[in-house]
Amino acid sequence: MGMSAGAHLAKRGVDTLLIDAFDPPHQEGSHHGDTRLIRHAYHGGPAYINMAICAHQLWNELEEETGETLLVQSGVLNMSSPAVYSYKARLEESRGLGLPVEYLDADEIRKRWPGVVVPEDYMALYEPQAGYLFSERCISAYRRSAAEAGAELLANTRVERLEANPGGVSVYTSKGIFHAGQVILSAGAWFQTLEPFLSLKMKPVRKVVGWFQPSNTQFDAGRFPGFTLNTPEGGFYGFPSLDGSGLKIGRHDGGLPWNPGEPIAPFGSCEEDEGDLRRALDTYMPGASGALNRGTVCKYELTPDEDFIIDRHPVHSNVLIAGGFSGHGFKFASVVGEILSDLATRGAASLDIGLFSISRFK
């Protein structure tokens, strides 16, 4: 979010300094592990759908600017047990906003993607224009774009505390003090380290993903889409096998609490790390449940309603906040950067961000 905001601001001619505790992209935040889904037919309503459409366009523009492939339009297959979720409302809302979404029953799912084994009463919402982003590549692309537009990046520099008054903001870091007219805070799962200057209602959790070797080519990129899978046992998401990487799968719900700064247990520390993912594959995509090729640990920062926080600081209006992306924010990073840049330079965003106010938690 920060790198995108930095690129958007610098392109508008704003004197921009980016500060990161690590050297992005890196493994300490919420963005590593190769890929992130970009879906458009969101359950959160028109505000999310419009943002997703706009985000997709901005990713395409970044691709044109940098000459890099960042987004693969693989299609995304959203599947659910009727006991967990029905796609009826989302389907109507998405079609109303011009998205070419399809409603599929279990037979049709199995016919189009023979690797998927779903019970008779399952259904799907298929988004042919959705897909996945190469997350680290996206960050590197924004990093280059920001630098070319004149932004400066201080990597491996930790923000330790902040002070703000109507005249400006002082940022105390491990490499000195910086003063700015306005500051954007986008600390991902690390926001607690900025307390007491800012206290947000959000819970950082440890999340894992694994890459499993399929026994056949049905799950290969080009043939298999990105997917989400809502089952009575949990909510899962995943990606096709890219150049032999294996099918990547993660679980959206659950996760162990993590305190920022504490060491995080590596993949495989708990039985559930591999077990939850393999059990889902055994049941719903048995042909993809081969050897575990790789596993990694990442972080979510969950707000109580899992909606984002994009707003001004409750006391200091010259401090903008973008956080609480609750495990589904990456796809929006392009448009969130533009929104933050609008807020900083024009005082208002052109998209509806009312849903993301801090005051909703009072």
Ligand X SMILES: Cc1cc2nc3c(=O)[nH]c(=O)nc-3n(C[C@H](O)[C@H](O)[C@H](O)COP(=O)(O)OP(=O)(O)OC[C@H]3O[C@@H](n4cnc5c(N)ncnc54)[C@H](O)[C@@H]3O)c2cc1C
1 binds ligand X (CB under 6 A): yes
For ligand X, the binding residue among 7, 21, 125, 302 (CB under 6 A) is 21
Q: Which of 66, 73, 192, 193 binds ligand X (CB under 6 A)?
A: 193
- Report the SS3 class of residue 203: strand
Q: How far is the CB of 355 from ligand X (least distance, A)?
A: 16
In sequence order, which ranges of the chain are alpha helices (DSSP H)?
2-11, 46-66, 88-96, 106-112, 135-148, 271-284, 333-346
Tell me 241's DSSP state.
Answer: B
Q: How far is CA 324 from CA 22, 62, 72, 80, 185, in A?
A: 20, 24, 26, 25, 11
Q: Determine whether 248 is an active site residue.
A: yes
- Which of 40, 137, 206, 331 touches ligand X by CB under 6 A? 331
Cβ pair 164, 175 in contact under 8 A = no
CA distance 70 to 7: 16
Residue 275 makes CB contacts below 8 A (sequence gap 6+) with none
Q: Are 219 and 293 in contact (CB under 8 A)?
A: no
Q: Tell me which residues in 80-109 interact with ligand X (CB under 6 A).
A: none
Q: Does 28 bind ligand X (CB under 6 A)?
A: yes
Q: Which of 40, 138, 207, 298 is catalytic?
A: 298
Active site residue 40: no
H/E element, 164: strand 159-165
Site for ligand X in 259-298 (CB under 6 A): 298
The nearer residue to ligand X, 115 or 210, going by C-beta atoms, is 210
Residue in 325, 334, 340, 353 binding ligand X, rule: CB under 6 A: 325
- Output 47 or 106, the one with its CB closest to ligand X: 47
User: Which of 38/104 has CB closer to ligand X?
Assistant: 38
298 as an active site residue: the answer is: yes
Query: Is the alpha carbon torsion for 188, 193, 198, 201 positive or negative?
Result: positive
Q: Whose CA is closest to 292, among 311, 278, 306?
A: 278
To the nearest whole angstrom, how small is the minimum distance from the Cβ of residue 292 to ligand X?
16
DSSP codes of every residue in 15-26? --EEE-SS-SS-
The contact pattern for ligand X, residues 130-169, with x = CB under 6 A and - = no contact, is ----------------------------xx----------
Catalytic residue, chosen from 35, 157, 228, 303, is 35
Count of residues binding ligand X (CB under 6 A)? 36
300 sits near ligand X (criterion: CB under 6 A):
yes
Tell me: does residue 24 bind ligand X (CB under 6 A). yes
Q: Which of 39, 40, 90, 248 is an active site residue?
A: 248
> Is 316 labeled as catalytic in the residue annotation?
no
Single residue of 75, 204, 225, 250 touching ligand X by CB under 6 A: 250
> 207, 223, 216, 211: which is closest to 278 by C-alpha?
211
Q: State the Cα–Cα distance between residues 54 and 244, nearest whole angstrom.
A: 32
Beta-carbon count within 10 A of 235 CB:
18
Which residues participate in catalysis according to the annotation? 32, 35-36, 248, 252, 298, 331
Binding site for ligand X (CB under 6 A): 1-2, 19-22, 24, 28-31, 33, 36-37, 158-159, 186-190, 193, 207, 209, 237, 250, 298-300, 323, 325, 327-331
